[in-house]
Chains A and B, each alone.
Chain A
Amino acid sequence: MTRRMTDDRLLDIIEIWGAEAHGWPEAERAAAEALLAEKPGRFAPALAAARELDLMLGALPEPDMPRALTDAIIAAAPKPARGLLPRWGGMKAPWVPASGFAAAAFGLFMGLTIAPVASADDEVNAEVQELVISALGFEPANYTLEEME
C-alpha cells in the first residue's frame, strides 16, 4: 500500500502500529521516518503514548510449548509409505528367506539321493535280474541287483 505521507497518516501509523519504526508498514516506513525526523516535536506525544502501550504488550510472556503437546503433534504426523520402508522392510533379517531356500534345496537333494524310488522299470529289472541269475545256475533269492553290479 503506497500512500502520500502526511502528518495525519503518521499519527495513524503511530497509533496503529506503535512507536517503533521497525513495526511500521514497510512500504511507508522510509517516508514516515523522514517526516518524523523533520518534525520530531509534532509527533512526540503520540510516540510517548504508543510506547507506553507497546511496553505493556511487550511484557506479556510467551506460553511454553509443553513437551507432551509437541510429542502428540509429531505422533499424528504422516508416516513413511510402505514403498519407502528400508530394503528388507517387514522382514527380520536377510538370512531368514535365504535359509528357507537352502533348507528346501537340501531336502530335495537328500530325497533324491537316499529315498527309495519305485517305478515300473524296477519290476522289469527285477525279473531280468532273476532270469540272468537262474541262467547262470545260481539261486536268485541269494542275490540282489546291487550285488550283481
Chain B
Amino acid sequence: MAFTSDLDQITRAAAGDAAAVRALVNRYSPGVLALATRMLGETAEAEDVTQETFIRAWKALPGWEPRAKFSTWLHRVALNLCYDRLRKRREVLPDELPDRADVALGPQDALDQAQRVKAVEAAIARLPERQSAALTLCALQGHSQAEAADIMEISVEALESLLARARRTLRGELLDGRKVS
C-alpha cells in the first residue's frame, strides 16, 4: 500500500537515508513537475517550483505527521507555489496576457499533432488558475475526485464545478471553434 510505504520511506528519508530520499523523489517529482508545467506553462519556472516544493518537504520531514498523504501534501504545496507565481505575474504583466481569440481553433483548421498539442497547452494555460489546476489534477494526472479536492482544499462539488467549466471552455475553444465566456 502506497501510504504505508510512504510512511516508512518518509521516516528513513528524514534520517538521511539516501535510498529513501531517491525513492520519494523518483516517485513524486515527475507529477509535481507536470502539475507546475501545466499551471505555469513555462519550463524553467515549473522546475523552480518543483525544487522549492521538495526543499519544503525536506524541511517538513523531521516533524512529519501523517494527517495527509505525502503526495497530497506535496501537490498542495506545489499548487500554492504556482498560484503565488501566477499572482506575481499578473501584478507585473497585467497587459500581457494572451488574447483568447488569437489562438482559438476551429474544427476546420488543419493542424498537425504538434500544433494541436501547443494549442491545447495554450488553452489550458489561459484557463482561470483553479480551473486549470482541477483539470490538470483530474484529467491529466488521474487523481481521484477525493484526492484532487483534498489537494485543492475544496469540496467535491466545487471541484466538479471547476472541472465542468474548464472542459466546457476547452471544448468551445478547441473543438467548436467558438469562444466560451
Contact = CB atoms under 8 A, between A and B. Distances in A.
Interface of A: 1, 12, 15-18, 23, 25-26, 49-50, 52-54, 56-57, 59-63, 65-66, 69-70, 72-74, 76-81, 84
B168 A15 contact: yes
A65 B33 contact: yes
| Contact-residue size bin, chain B (C-beta under 8 Å from the other chain) | 35 or more
Nearest to B162: A16
Contacts of B117: 59-61
The secondary structure that dominates the B interface is helix
A56 B51 contact: no
A80 B16 contact: yes
Given A53-B174, A57-B120, A18 B139 contact: yes
Given A57-B140, A79-B16, A66 B47 contact: yes
A70 B24 CA distance: 11
A49 B1 CA distance: 36
Given A53-B171, A78-B21, A78-B62, A60 B121 contact: yes
A49 B174 CA distance: 12
Interface in B140-181: 140, 142, 144-145, 156, 160, 163-164, 167-168, 170-171, 174-175
B26 to A, nearest CB: 8
Name the 3 nearest CB pairs between A and B, nearest first.
A80-B16, A77-B21, A73-B54
Nearest to B165: A16
Given A12-B160, A73-B51, A78-B16, A63 B43 contact: yes
A84 B29 contact: no
B175 A53 contact: yes
The binding surface of chain A is classed by DSSP as: helix
Interface string B41-68: 0010011001100110010011000000
Nearest to B141: A62
B176 to A, nearest CB: 9
Contacts of B140: 57, 60
A15 B171 CA distance: 10
Contact of B47 (A54, A69, A78): A69
B165 to A, nearest CB: 10
A110 B55 CA distance: 59
B107 to A, nearest CB: 10
A41 to B, nearest CB: 21
B9 to A, nearest CB: 12
Contacts of A17: 138, 145, 163
B148 to A, nearest CB: 11
B103 interface: no
A15 B18 CA distance: 44
B13 A59 contact: no
B106 interface: no
